[in-house]
Structure formats: C-alpha cells, structure tokens
Structure 1
Amino acid sequence: MIHNPSFQTLMHSLTRRDVLKVVVGTGLTFLLPSLEGKAVEKRGAERPKSLITLWMGGGPSQLETWDPHPQSSVASGVRAIPTRLPGLEIAELFPRTAEQIHHLSVIRSMVSKEGDHERGTYYVQTGYRPDPTVVHPAMTAVISKWLNNDELEIPQHVALASGDGFVVPRGGYLGAEHDAFRIYDPGNNIHNMRPRVDDERQSRRLEGLEVLSRQFRQGRPGQVRETMHEQMIQRALTMMSSDQLKAFEIDSETEETKKKYGDSRFGRGCLVARRLVEQGVRAIQVTLQGFDTHANNLEGHRSQAEILDPAFSALIEDLVERDLLDSTIVLCIGEFGRTPWLNPLDGRDHWPVGFSCVVGGGGLRSGLVIGETSPDRAFEEKEKRVTESSPPKDPVSVPDLYATILTQMGVDPTEEIFTPIGRPIRLSEGSPLTRLVPNLA
C-alpha cells in the first residue's frame, strides 16, 4: 500500500500492461524492486564501490587518442606527447590527460568480434555478442545489482548525457528495474525530479492515486505483485523528497571547478558522476557521442578532444584529491577503434582488431601499457577481411576486460544466473587479466 493519507482511484481502469507502459515509458524502471538473487558476500574496505564508464560513442581512433604512431606511413599528422608515466606517449590532443594518465593503465590491444555500432556497443557493454534468444545485462547493471547500496534513495545505475537508443545500458535478463536512469542534460534538469505543484495539490493527487490503487487491488492480487507499481511509486516519492537528489546538482560547485570540467554536457556529466560516487551510487555511464569519423577524422577528433580532455583529466584529478580513486574504477572505451589507414574522405572506418581503452582506479594496477599495435602491417593487410587481419601483440578480448572489472569489484564472473526462462548464463565468458588485478598475479 502507498503510504500517503490520500492516494488511491484510477487503477480500476488500468490493466497490468497499462501500468508497465507507464513505468517503462517514464524511464522509472530503476524504481522497481531488485530481483532476488545471490547476495554479494561482504567485501572488505579494499574493494571498489563504484564504476564510472566514459563511453566514447561511435568508436574513437586509437591513433588520435591513446596509441599514436606519428612516424607511421598512415599517420594523420598528430604528434605524440610524453605523459607523467615514463615511456608512455599519447596523442597531442590530450595534454591535460597526459598529466593524469599515470593513475590509470592503457590497453592498446583490445579486440572485438563486432564491427557494427549497435552490435559492437552491445558486445562491449555486456561482454556478450548479441543473441536473439536472450538480452544480456550491461556490466554497469550487474555492478549496480551485486553492489546494491541499501542507503541510497536515488538510482543505483545512472546514464548521463546519453539520450536514448542502444547506447543506454540495460538490465537485460536481470530485469528492466536495472536499466540505467537517464539524465540527458546533466546538471540542468534536476527540476524534472521535483514536484511541479505545491504540497497541497501534490497531496490531493496522491489521495486520488491511492483510491485508484485500492480499486485495482480488488480481485487482482497477482497482477498487483507483477506490476509492482505501488513499490515503484513509493520509491519515486522517496527519491523526489530525498536530500540525495543534490548529487545531481552542480550549482554548489565553484566556478573554477565547473570550468575545469568544461562547459559541455559531457563535462557536466563527469562532474555529476563524481558527485554521484560521493553519494554512493554504484554504476555511472557518461556518454560522449561523435567519434564516428568516416570523413575528416583529424578535425573530428580535435573537436572531440576539446571536450574529452578537460573532463576526463578533471574527473581523475578530483577522484585522486578526494581519495575516491581507490574505491572507484574508471573505464574510458568505445565500441571499437578506427582503421589504421585513411579513406578517400580523410576519415577512418570501423576497426575492432587493435583498439585502445584506458582503465584504472579501484585498486587495479596503474602505470601499465598492455599490448602493441602495428598500423603499417595493418595497412599492408588492408585488402583482407577484418577478421583475417593479424591481431595486435598481446590481445585483450572484451570478455576478459569485463571479467577483470567484475573480479576486482568482488563479483565472481563465473557465477551462473538463471534467466526468466530458466537458462543458466555466466556473468562473463572471460578470464580476468592477472596483470591488472593485484591479488591474481
């Protein structure tokens, strides 16, 4: 029952499908109670508590980000600059990140089996290739469920600056309640989470809703349990009146701090992500779209770097200064990389065999550079199918990266979960990278 002196009439005319449409359509599916499952064993203080994924939508070029080859015959003119990590050079487009990247590790030999945006996004976010018989949960959804924070009155799983579509992390077979709560314009739409009427009118509306709910319950006990609408509404009301909503606001931040992150949706998203981590939110994804540079690749990456460089570096700097990086894993990745050669439009096309990501924090080993690519050799093989191209040195698969992060966060990647139709599926098919996880070396 909804705990408001007056909430109950409309439900008589609402079917279970109607209620579910409202829940899903309003983006409030995170408010549905979590499915029962195996509880996480109590973790020690050394375990990370949060995961921040910086999603580079479209597939960033490794050559214009974390794996430049300025002397290569297929270089685009971007110079390599030194970083605070001896021996590591990155693209000159990221001078501020170069000052912070020693806190993390770089993987230059990521390999994926998918070269299409939607399929590639699904694969990198879930660790599984698309399968028409099942929808797998995103890694962020798994983390938010297994590391559930009982003290939170706001969502456990948040997607910032992502808009709609396949980029938004989903709960898959864990249930729609584990879909990410979407904030399109971080820092600017907190008003959508507050009541838009005064307390008296809000109370009257809840009284009417309680009448509807009571009528809906009559003769429908099973449907009430299935729709779970009352619990969802109660949790929504709790969130709307919670002081924790302030984590989504940035007005209290200094102008200097906001300027440091950059005046962009992505920059504000990274700032809000830091605030959500401070509040105890378990899984956050911040999206920067625009890396699909089939034409004018260099110009496109210069533009993207002007947004990514200040935000990424400021996030790492803040997490370090606030002693949060040891309890927070940060992953910067896209669905694939881009071809080592330029096409006739001075663009780079999709390239899933030898792309880069940056990962660290949460007790993972920092200062590592894993893998090595050879763009000149790749150019020589450009007439081959991508699947027949020579792999990079020391390749790292998407499932292995997935298993690494789960393991470090105290989640067993080999655990089997039963889908709603009773099919057992492991959380990950990969094996954790012993070089990154200290206790496995």
Structure 2
Amino acid sequence: MADPTSSHDQRDPTQTSADVVVQPTPPSGDAPPQRRRLSWISEGIVPLLAILTALLIGAVIVFFSAPAEKGTRIQVTINAFKGLFVGAFGNWADPSTIPIALSNTLVESTPYLLAGLAVALGFKAGLFNIGAEGQLLMGAIGAAAVGVWLPAWLGVASLPTLIHLPLALLAGALAGGIWGAIPGYLRAKTGAHEVINTIMLNYIALRVLDYMIVNGPMRAQGASLQRTPYIQESASLPRFVGIVRSADLTEGQNYLPFVPTTSSTWDLRIHSGLLIALLAVAFVWWLLRRTPTGFEIRTIGANPEAARYAGMNITRTFVLTMGLSGALAGLAGTGQVLGLDHNLKSVFSGGLGFDSIAIALLAKSNPIAIIPAAIFWGALRQGAGAMQIASGISSNLINIIQALVIIFIAADQIVRWLYRIKRTDGGGMVFSRGWGK
C-alpha cells in the first residue's frame, strides 16, 4: 500500500475534498519544464490550425464562386490568395512594393494590438469587455479635443510637443479608462453583468460622438465632411519615415516624420503609435506575470471563490482591470486620431472594438500572442482589396474567413476533433461569469 504521506500526495490530511476544489490552480510555471513546453506547443497549435482550416474553407468558397471571365476555377483561387498576400505584404518579385504594403498592414494592425490587448486583459479577470468599441470612441473624442483645442484653452498659440502630445495621449487613455471603469464598478457593487453594461455604453459613446461632431461643438466650421478641425502638429504621433511635404498642403498631410525622405517608396503611413502599442503589450505581460496585482487578476479570473477566501479585494480588482482595459482601448482610438487621420470624423472606428474580441480569442488572451493575432487580422483587412482586384471575388470573403476563425477558436473542439489533438490545459479558459457571480 502506498504511503499516504509520500511525495505523490502532499495534501493536508485534515483538508476535505471540498477544500481542495476551491484552491487556485497552480501556475503553469510550477509544471515540469518538458510538460510545460509540450502543453504550450499543443495549445498554441490550435489557433494556427483554426486559421489554416478557415483559409481552406475560404479557398473552397472561392473555387465554387469563381467568375468565369477571370479564368479557370483553380486559377481564380490561386489569384485570390496571391492577391491577398501581395496586398498585405507586397510583391516580392518587385521589392519596391514591400515597404508600403508592410507599412499599411502594420497601420491596420496597430489599433487591433491595443484593443485586442484590452479585451484580453478583461478575460484574464473573468470579465467580458465587449465595450472596447465605446471605450475606443471615447478615447478618440478625448484625444481630439486636447489635440485641437488645448492651446486655446490655456490661452496660448501653441504648445511644445513634449507637453502637448503626452497630454493628448493621457486624455485619450483617461476617457477610455473611465468608460471602462463604470461597468467594472457596477459589476463589483451590484452584480450587473459587464456584457449588458458595456453594450449600453457602446451606444451612448456612439451618440456622444454624433452629438459632438455632426452639429455639435467639435465640428470644423466650413468643412464639407462631418469632422473636427485637424489636430495641431505638436499633438501628432510622428510617422517613422516619410516625404516632407510643403506647408501649403491640406492640414494633417505635412506633419514632419522622424526620418525625412524624398523617395516615394519610403513614404510610409506607419507611425509611432505602433511603439506605444508594443510598449503596452510589454506592460500588460509584466503586470500579469510579475506583479501581485497581476496575480490577483489571474486568480480572480480562474477562481473567484478561492480569491475571496484568500482575502483578495475583488471589487478593486474588477474596477482596476476594466479601467485599464478601457484605457488600452482608448489608446487604440487615440492612435487613429493623432497618428493616422489627424482629425476625428463622425464615422469612426469601423468596428475595431468588436474585431478586438476575435483577436483576444485567437491569442487565447496571451499578451505576447496578441501581436501575431493583430498582424494577421490587419493583413486580412489590408489584402482584401487586392484580392478582389486579382480574382473578382468580393472582399466580403475576408469577413467569412474571419468569422470561421472565430468559430473554430470559440469552439476549438471542432479543430481538436479534425486534427486529433488532445487537450492538455485541463479545461477551457474562463472568459466571463454569470450575473452576480
């Protein structure tokens, strides 16, 4: 008979089975290194296979819907995916197309990085932040207001970039953070589910945007479009490389890049908001893996009863997590205003906040994995137009592929069954809990 006190059973003999159930799951870092590596490989390959399966199904759809005037079905299918690749990453037979294509893909990916990170952080605490869209809009409103009017509010003609730009970034993050903290507080204090609250706040944010810009105080006087005035150059996020344009061009097109060039090949749209997004990824990883606050977030997300029994402040953690999540989403909108558009239009975002949910799912809420997930999403968006031109297939096919990826990630049992992959993580991830739980 095995010794009950042997190394195979280290439980306290006075502990009941019920006590064992509520103990937090040991961190994955406590597992043997070899087993941990195998788990990462097994679980990490599922999203890749989900993408592959979605692309294969997309190829089948292209094959059977190929227009006859574009060639044979096989030719159209090949041209469609070749166009998708060229649109996203450039034609490698013509190196001059690569910098602009890669730049445009990274421009598309940058807001997805921040908004996807926002949703992933909420998932870590067991909170479903479906309100990234509204938080992104509020962040854009805050950044645009400070970027355009702060000098006038202070009674000066202009401000130094070292003052104006950080304040515009802070305004965007703060506006998004407040919009995120509201449902976090309601969830912690009243038990009202964050999904309901964030959906309602999305609509409120959209109506605030309409009021401010359509006929409200932020609309540019005399502009043909419903937009704000252009932000001042001191509040813009500089491009990395670009042509120095003459000062008489339309506002927002002559801001100085870090590295001036005269070559149209290197006149790139990619801006320093990408650096902010990458720093945010590093910060969230450090927060979750290297700080007591991050440990509380992960523990509450995995087992709130154990966290409560251990004396963790669940109210504070919910509000803090949703506030940080909202700030990240707000920065996504801020980057679009300060680094790309240089103004805020009444038609803004295009569903970036909702797409970020799919990116967080694709990355399995891993902050580092958000980077390739966001780039993949941005590449699909950037390559869609070139795919349509090359094959005659509607660019809406990209929406189908993205939807299939979401299905295969959310119901990963389908992928596991198709490719005979066993689960090694002990169960599915907790994304959100019920009302009042």
Same fold (TM over 0.5): no
The structure number with the bigger radius of gyration is 2
TM-score by length of 1: 0.24
TM-score by length of 2: 0.24
Structure with a larger share of its residues in strand: 1
Structure with a larger share of its residues in helix: 2
